[in-house]
Amino acid sequence: MVEAVQVQLKKGVLELCVLALLSREDTYGYEIASRLTEGIGMGEGTIYPLMRRMQSDGLVGTYLVESPSGPSRKYYRLTDFGRTRFEAQKTEWTAFSAAVDAILKNASLGGAK
Amino acid sequence: MTRQDFIARLRAGLRGLPPAAVADILADYETHFADGASAGRSEAEVAAALGDPDRLARELRAEAGLRRWEAERNPSAAASAVFAVLGLGAIDVLILLPILLWVFGVLLGLFIAAVALFGVGAVVMVAGPFVVQTAPALALILAGLGLVAGGACLGSLATIGSIGCTNALTWYGRLHLRLLKPALDAQGSL
């Protein structure tokens, strides 16, 4: 059960992190995978199903960039809808994590007594 | 696992998806291996970091099946949504199977009844006045018309029922994919 909650939490957070990363700059799959998954502790492969889902939800768009070495590379960019979703989720997350922090701080004060 | 093994297992797991979608997905992972190689990682390292290709394929397939039903709303898309959910192959889907078969049977019965009613109504309406001499022709035509309308109505209800059932299954599959599957996999890997 705890495991299930953790995985769900991570999946939700991963989407928010992808939105955050793309809100700064357009980037490609390997870059997203290597920068995000390690810290959160998810397999790098989970990025691609997530990117496909986000693309069909209309949160991100793609375009190809010619590469000097090898095949052209697929870049992801945030759509307007994605940007709106990012702002909304960021606000939600900030409020949520502040509330959890406050509770944890209270608990540790209580424990010190 | 080498790049080739990983791609081969992913390709095998994605069988049944439109070739263009498979090519697109495989290209994503091929590029990932190429990028990993330029970053100085070995194929085995990259494959280990990507995770289990069979599980990735299941997730990609299920998502594709559910998407198609949402986009197309036709019988073939409904079937692929049903198979996508069944393809997840967990125990609770097996529990669901008898219920699914029962619902399918009831809907099939309704469709057959609708077609029969429609057919009988049409015969009564067209042939009735010539064959049956005891009743007035107008009454027979109206009765036939009533049966045809009843058949059409039953057919529509059964169609609405089928759409509703597939939607419910899509919802269930999504829930399963998002909540239960990761939990089961996490427990399995412990």
A71 close to B (CB below 8 A): yes
Among A47, A50, A62, A57, CA closest to B71: A57
Mark yes or no for CB contact B60/A7 under 8 Å: no
Contacts A73 to B, Cβ<8 Å: 31
Please compute Rg for chain A using Cα positions. 17
A29 close to B (CB below 8 A): yes
Average pLDDT, chain B: 79
Q: How far apart are CA A33 and CA A46, in angstroms?
A: 8
CATH code where residue A12 lies: 1.10.10.10
Minimal Cβ distance to A4: which of B59, B183, B190 = B183
pLDDT digits (tens, 9 = 90+) for B82-111: 666 666 655 455 667 777 788 888 888 888
pLDDT digits (tens, 9 = 90+) for A49-78: 889 888 888 999 999 988 776 677 899 999
Range of the domain at A11: 2-112
Mark yes or no for CB contact B56/A46 under 8 Å: yes
Go through chain B and tell me how many residues it has.
190
In this prediction, the answer to ipTM > 0.95 reads no
Contacts A4 to B, Cβ<8 Å: 179-180, 182-183, 186
Mark yes or no for CB contact B31/A46 under 8 Å: no
Indicate the number of domains in chain A: 1
Every domain of chain B and the residues it spans? 1-51, 73-188
